Amino acid sequence: MPMFRYRAYGARGEFSEGSIEAASQEAATIALGLQGLTPFQVKPAAENARPWWQRDVFSLRGSIQKDLTGFTREFATLHTAEIPLDDALRIVIEQTTSARTRAVVEGLLADVLNGSTLSDAMQKRSDIFPADYVSVVTAGEIGGHVGDVFEELADLLERRMEIRSRVQSAFVYPVILIVLALSSFAIIIGVLVPGMAPIFAESNRQMPSGLRLILSIHALWPQILVGIGLLVAIVASTSAIALRKRHARLAFDAIKLRTPLIGAFLLQQETARFARTFGTLLKSGVPLLQAAISARTVVNNLYMGTRLEEAIASVREGTSLHRALRAETTLPQVALRMISIGEEAGKLDRMLIRVAVMLEQQMQRSIDRFMTILTPLLTLIIAVLVGGLIMTVMNAILSMNDLVFR
């Protein structure tokens, strides 16, 4: 029988993952349920064994958020216009320009026409529709307001994409600077300096020390590149092997959160994602415990996710949410205070979204301040390096002039 990889939560909310042998994906889900696990991702293990260049997930992952956001916004507009579910899916199929999205929606339509609910059809495609996404859709189907929850989901996904694009845009200029600097180094070291060396050799004069150093780099550049490549490969492979072990990744993620400057930014980012997803789920009618479990899945930092799992377990045992989060997690104090106020006032969903907005604004200000410092600093460093090379070349040129006049 085929093997399936699963990710699930236990009876106390603890995270679990592994492999299970079953006749089908549905049978694997049932078997996990009999073991007391609630799976949110079940997929064939054979997919993981395929080379990375043959995996559908690899080709999909780069733009999956963009496709999913586009589908969600378009479907929300159609459903709000009171167009029947199957007709809305057909319209999406006709209008989309993405072959990938078209294939996914065609599968959803086929399942819906066969009697499945939309959330069940999405759950079968857990590599495309995340657990928190499916939870919101399920709550919308139960409450009879699917159009509203798709509007909430579209806003959530668009906000995530906006933050990601801001971070990427902030690094465009530094990358351009680095590329131009490397190009300048390559021209000076690979073309200009070697063309000057024969003049010194023909006149039996010793070359300046800076010029000899540049020529040595030029002569040994294949070995230098191979050495750097091997070093990077060794470090990357060693890190990848070590981080496959849960305790190693747990320790590494804990260190990242404690790193000055970077740790505070990562904590804000993870907290904002958790709070916005949690608030959206609650606003859509998902029960608190289920919403917390689903929102935890969007947290990428394993250490923070583990602490959140412990807090969720405390909530399951009767502890209030803000007390459990304060006791078990390292969330920012301002976020904990706002969550406490929201829980006591019965407006937890609104307060969580406010927490997310506040932290996202802080993140943007942090990025702006960082780039304000990084850009001139990087420009100065590159100017010093390029200037040093140019000065070396200019000294060599002056030495050549002395040779000519003599």
Could you tell me which of 308, 243, 234, 283 has the C-alpha nearest to residue 15?
308
- pLDDT category at 204 given cuts 50, 70, 90 is low
CA angle 246, 248, 252 (to 5 degrees): 115
pTM confidence score: 0.62
- pLDDT category at 62 given cuts 50, 70, 90 is very low
Q: Which two tokens stand for residue 77?
A: 């507009």
- DSSP letter, residue 191: I
What pLDDT digit, counting tens, does each position of 348-396 carry? 988 998 998 888 888 878 877 877 887 788 888 888 877 777 777 777 6
% of the chain at pLDDT higher than 70: 83
Distance CA 342, CA 212 (A): 68
As a whole number of angstroms, the longest Cα–Cα distance in the chain is 95
% of the chain at pLDDT higher than 90: 5
Confidence check: pLDDT of 263 > 60: yes
Helix (H) or strand (E) holding 305: helix 302-316
Do the beta carbons of residue 367 and residue 166 sit within 8 Å? yes
The neighbour count for residue 38, using CB atoms within 10 Å, is 16
What pLDDT digit, counting tens, does each position of 166-194 carry? 777 777 878 888 888 888 877 777 777 77
Residues 6+ apart with CB under 8 A from 374: 174
